[in-house]
Structure 1
């Protein structure tokens, strides 16, 4: 493989030992220069002994180790395009209409990178995560080298900021390059030379682990800080939960029950034959039987493992375990997909998955939700009695402006969930028959009943009714990862003291 280490001179700057692989398109090399200099790839002019590097090939450039290249280009912002003539909505394409409606930026597919695009769009739906990324001060490279956790976190920060500034789709060239350098397994090529499709959940896990290492925790007051929270980072605060785990040997009463604590960043919904609803799959996690060595019996024995959630994160990630390797006698195992229809809710209550101690702590916030629901039902009933109609949507919007939002976390545990109530915030779906093929799409809640479908650079407004159709049962888009956010209690300002 023609891999060289070259130097690039840019004004007074000089970048040394830059890896250059001429089997890859020049835009990959330019992406590295962008990470080092801040000069956008389309503004770079890279030369070597009079030859200019083109976007479509390396041309006559004869590279070797230690070669010196010259780059010209400025890192200043691009000038704004001149204003266009008025375009009426009925004359707009879907993409133009999305832009006019202030739809967020999509991400260009750079060749089977939909798994990464969908992952980023779902994670980007968490407002606290976006703010935490913006405060991160790390760099893409350390001494010219890629350090996975630092580089991925800095790359995601830069991409999120760029997406907020742009009203158009963005090619995530730099982040993809950094991601591939940090995790080469995601850069595998197909027999046709393009990138292979990858598993979105594996991408999700790697990105979250990097963020878990680098994003600092939100500050807590001295009275809030405890030994249990002192070592937490942002992702541990907002995305990580904890299990109370008990292990009891089923074959002897003499062996004492052991109790431990386990952390999780995802809950798994296993799709067994009798699982028709997501909650059923989650409940199967509560108890399972495993075989392991028994010290008291001196042999393998059956143990009953019981899991109860002792800490709920503000943002709960749930994976539908749809992919598995199926053995076939005549050939190697194949990656197969379970297409079964498994319903999931827009509003989720996980109270029954929690330990008794946590359940007791959840009750006060749950009581407040119940009081508010009873109050709203009573007011709606009075309005219907007097007018014969329920509240108008415009009236509800006016009422929302007079509401106060209550904290969704426990006072002594930043980033937790204090009620057990969640609202669906984002869905990552897969269309196809295996995780290494097909297509991934992100579906993100905007507000109320409004959702957005992020199909790479195509962003389309949809409704919650469309989202509920993603439960599976055929070759349509099927829910693979679900991200639930905290349900926030809102009460009228005048009743704040009574709640």
Structure 2
């Protein structure tokens, strides 16, 4: 792990972390977070050559050295309109696009837990639309910084996924997820990322979006009277509107029969399904 300086035009970033055990694309993703220059538009030069995307080649990195980056933060130019192509002449990628197959996410080394979570969230139209309206930048500081840059990275990833049917490597989102929740960055003895629990990733992503996505006014989500009253005094987040489950609880002391049952209500973002040897169907687990 090295600390290097990066000069970009008139700006200079000191002490940028660079890990040569990871592909250069990961370092370029960090530069993207700092400058807003897409990795595809970056040209990073160092004594000994220019950084590639997949390997370091013969480039030798030292602490404190200065790298020169060229590239503008402007959006990539759109591809020109292509001439009509017949189905028989289409590549697999073009055929998938014509059949409106969903975009896939590349497994970056035991990251299927995150990919599954992202695809599940993307299947909710209201969340996609709320992310399109979200104006937070990828660069942030302060107490809520991690929630902002993860939400912004998810927004940008969805935008990229809407424009292609090919598989996309979610490098930037993975980097930010590791920064905010280091448990997902754990590695094994061979340096590979360890497998993680998809439900844990889902819970963390829901909490992040709960903080950043505002609710929809006048939505048709069914509410109880008490829920409507609470919403009028405090605006719900979009996650609360579409994912929150209200439980009615009843607590009784089994050792004191004379005590009355204490009733209450609480809101959670997931419904637990208890699994044991007698549970064969989802309904049975929920009933327990």
- Residues 146 and 266 (structure 1), Cα distance of their counterparts in 2 relative to 1, 3 Å cut: closer
One of 256, 268, 271 as aligned partner of 1:264: 268
Q: Which residue of 2 aligns with 1:255?
A: 259
TM-score, normalised by the number of residues in structure 1: 0.51
Query: What SS does the aligned partner of 1:252 have?
Result: coil
- Residues 255 and 144 (structure 1), Cα distance of their counterparts in 2 relative to 1, 3 Å cut: closer
Q: Which residue of 2 aligns with 1:11?
A: 9
Q: Which residue of 1 aligns with 2:98?
A: 100
- Residues 88 and 19 (structure 1), Cα distance of their counterparts in 2 relative to 1, 3 Å cut: same
Query: What SS does the aligned partner of 2:249 have?
Result: strand
Cα displacement (A) at 1:88? 2.9
Question: d(CA) in 1 for partners of 2:156 and 2:210?
Answer: 17
Question: d(CA) in 2 for partners of 1:21 and 1:182?
Answer: 18
Structure 1 residue ranges without an equivalent (≥5) = 285-499
- Residues 267 and 42 (structure 1), Cα distance of their counterparts in 2 relative to 1, 3 Å cut: same
One of 280, 284, 293 as aligned partner of 2:284: 280
Question: d(CA) in 2 for partners of 1:81 and 1:228?
Answer: 48
One of 32, 35, 38 as aligned partner of 2:33: 35
Cα displacement (A) at 1:84? 7.2
Q: Which residue of 1 aligns with 2:131?
A: 133
Cα displacement (A) at 1:82? 7.9
Query: What SS does the aligned partner of 1:227 have?
Result: helix
Q: Which residue of 2 aligns with 1:180?
A: 178
Query: What SS does the aligned partner of 2:201 have?
Result: helix
Cα displacement (A) at 1:148? 2.1
Structure 2 residue ranges without an equivalent (≥5) = 220-226
Query: What SS does the aligned partner of 2:263 have?
Result: strand
Cα displacement (A) at 1:122? 0.9
- Assess if the C-alpha contact under 8 Å between 1:147 and 1:182 holds in 2: no
Aligned length: 278
Instruction: Indicate the structure with greater strand content.
Output: 1
Cα displacement (A) at 1:250? 1.9
Query: What SS does the aligned partner of 1:249 have?
Result: coil
- Assess if the C-alpha contact under 8 Å between 2:47 and 2:59 holds in 1: no
- Residues 184 and 227 (structure 1), Cα distance of their counterparts in 2 relative to 1, 3 Å cut: same
1:52 partnered with 2:56: no
- Residues 84 and 14 (structure 1), Cα distance of their counterparts in 2 relative to 1, 3 Å cut: farther
* Backbone CA RMSD of aligned residues: 2.7
Aligned 1:3-402 pairs, distance under 5 A: 3-4=2-3, 6-49=4-47, 51-55=49-53, 56-57=55-56, 59-65=58-64, 67-75=65-73, 76-78=75-77, 80=79, 83=82, 86-89=85-88, 95-143=93-141, 147-220=145-218, 226-228=229-231, 230-284=234-288
- Residues 79 and 217 (structure 1), Cα distance of their counterparts in 2 relative to 1, 3 Å cut: closer
Deviations, residues 430-462 of structure 1 (Å, cap 9, x unaligned): xxxxxxxxxxxxxxxxxxxxxxxxxxxxxxxxx
- Assess if the C-alpha contact under 8 Å between 2:24 and 2:51 holds in 1: yes
- Residues 272 and 72 (structure 1), Cα distance of their counterparts in 2 relative to 1, 3 Å cut: same
- Assess if the C-alpha contact under 8 Å between 1:241 and 1:264 holds in 2: yes
Max Rg structure:
1
Query: What SS does the aligned partner of 2:183 have?
Result: helix
Question: d(CA) in 2 for partners of 1:93 and 1:62?
Answer: 40
Cα displacement (A) at 1:166? 2.4
Question: d(CA) in 2 for partners of 1:69 and 1:9?
Answer: 6
- Assess if the C-alpha contact under 8 Å between 1:146 and 1:178 holds in 2: no
- Assess if the C-alpha contact under 8 Å between 2:48 and 2:58 holds in 1: no
Question: d(CA) in 2 for partners of 1:144 and 1:20?
Answer: 23
Cα displacement (A) at 1:74? 3.1
